[in-house]
A = this chain, B = another copy of it.
């Protein structure tokens, strides 16, 4: 386990993965659990992370993802998707889960339900998927950090054809759409990107004290 800054320095947008190195079941479980535990606005977790296991689906996604090798070559491949029809029913479901997890009668949660419902209904319908996408990116940030700390390579990627991804993953029928993808595994020895000097803006450009 690396400390946070060592981990963030070590990580890189790996493009060439070692196809022979696989995440252990424990490493995969840790990554999935870090996503499950990620916080989200009002706790609503308005996304699903698809773990694409079937090689033939990964091949199809690679074709729809500008042929990026990470999609098939990394040990694991994930796609975050968000609902396209977010309504207050998600709030009702969330409250069901709260009642179950905290073992309290559902009818004691009226105040929380009103708040959580408001977090959805206060947003115009056309901005809800984008709000959900922001939450998915937050979870993606958790995933990337968790991976780095454990010495697992992880490449988030936005370069793919969303309509084709949605078709291949059958997301339309689920009223969902793909928003970002992530490869996870271990860098190949000859990966050029992980040996380049990391480029970040100087502190004073990115962090402003007022």
Interface, chain A (partner B; CB < 8 A): 1, 3-5, 8-9, 11, 13, 30, 32-39, 41, 43, 45, 47-54, 57, 94, 97-98, 101-102, 130, 133-135, 137-146, 149-150, 156, 158, 169, 180, 196-203, 205-210
Contacts and interface: CB of A to CB of B under 8 A. Distances in A.
A53 B47 CA distance: 35
Contact of A149 (B102, B149, B209): B149
Contacts of A101: 197-200
Contact of A144 (B43, B141, B180): B141
Contacts of A133: 134
Q: A-side binding surface: helix, strand, loop or mixed? A: helix
15 contacts: A1-B3, A4-B34, A4-B146, A8-B33, A8-B38, A36-B200, A36-B207, A45-B201, A51-B209, A53-B209, A53-B210, A102-B197, A137-B141, A141-B141, A145-B145
